[in-house]
Amino acid sequence: MALHFNCSPVELDQEQVLDYLHYLKTQSRTPSSSYFKHTVYGLRFAYKVMGVSGHEVLLPRLKFSKKLPVVLSRQEVRLLLKAPDLLKHRLVLALLYGCGLRRFELLNIKIPDIDLDRKMLHIREGKGRKDRYVPLGDHLVRGIGSYLEADPPYVWLFNGKDNTGQLQQFSTTGVQWAIKEAAKKSGIKKHVTSHVLRHTYATHLLEMGMDIMTLKDLLGHSDIRTTLVYLHVAQLGRDKAFSPLDKLYLSEK
């Protein structure tokens, strides 16, 4: 803003500030909500530090996107999980969906974090640097057991190799490639990502009868409002939503 107007932002009047914010949203090359948000918050902090009264320059309230998450059907998940040829890649997909992991949480799993006897996975320092436990279930326990026997990992559960052939932590690119190839091979038209699998995990658990507070803890959310979005996606209640076309012609049969 200082470069745009060639002066200190605290010297600008309300109209200039609003003009600049409008410029960010309409003409700037970086008009993302995040960029706009930090500009507004940065201005508020600058006014506070410099003693500029909040009355003199009123900043607009931020409006956040209310997009609902993409979710796979149960049949799409089955097709996705059996698509990879390598057990390692099948297990990557199975953990993302079966435990609702964020991608960095998956990559940071180490051997001691897996308790096959108790069928639990210890997620260390997830988002917000919080630990949590999530259940593995019988299918993942069997899959991880087979994987550990067939291809004993080093340090992390999933390892990759650098350009020299040295073992290192499996990469984000590797996870993305495994998901993309599985989606292509299974014929799924939706844009599948690691976070889509996490959304699908949450939605399917709600539809299978899990309560919202338990789901909040499993996902590692600090605010229940973040979890509540899945109530808008899951098909819940005594009567699932339906199209009127399905009942329009029933009386004629």
Q: What is the pLDDT of residue 160?
A: 80
Q: What is the pLDDT of residues 31-58, one digit of tens each?
A: 566 777 778 788 888 888 888 776 555 6
Instruction: Name the band, by pLDDT with cuts 50, 70 and 90, for residue 23.
Output: confident
Task: Return the ∠ at Cα 139 (arms to 169 and 183), rounded to 5°.
Answer: 60
- Mean of pLDDT over the chain: 85
Q: What is the pLDDT of residue 27?
A: 67
The span from the CA of 122 to the CA of 157, in Å, is 12
3-state secondary structure of 154: coil
Q: Can you name the residues that pair with 110 across neighbouring β-strands?
A: 156
Q: Which long-range contacts (CB under 8 A, 24 or more apart) does 153-158 make?
A: 153/111, 155/110, 155/111, 156/107, 156/108, 156/109, 156/110, 156/111, 157/109, 157/110, 157/111, 157/113, 157/114, 158/88, 158/91, 158/92, 158/106, 158/107, 158/109
Contacts of 230 by beta carbon, 8 Å cutoff, 6+ apart: 69, 199, 202, 203, 206, 215
Statement: residue 15 has pLDDT above 90: no
H or E element: which one contains 197? helix 194-207
Q: What is the DSSP letter of 111?
A: G
Tell me the pLDDT tens digit for each residue of 132-172: 999 999 999 999 999 999 877 778 899 887 777 677 788 89
Tell me which residues are annotated as active site. 102, 127, 195, 198, 221, 230
- Whether residue 253 is predicted with pLDDT greater than 60 in this model: the reply is no
DSSP single-letter state for residue 133: E
Q: What is the pLDDT of residues 73-120, one digit of tens each?
A: 999 999 999 999 999 999 999 999 999 999 999 999 999 999 999 999
Domain boundaries along the sequence of the chain:
2-49, 74-232
Residue 185's alpha-carbon distances to 85, 180, 182, 247, in angstroms, are 10, 9, 5, 36
CA 188 to chain centre: 19
Average pLDDT over residues 193-203: 95
**pTM of the full predicted structure?**
0.72
Alpha-carbon gap, residue 17 to 136, rounded angstroms: 52
What pLDDT is attached to residue 202?
A: 94
What is the structure's pLDDT at 185? Answer: 96
pLDDT digits (tens, 9 = 90+) for 149-159: 987 777 889 98
| 42's tokens | 């940065």
Hey, what CATH topology would domain 74-232 get?
A: hpI Integrase; Chain A (1.10.443)
pLDDT for position 51: 82
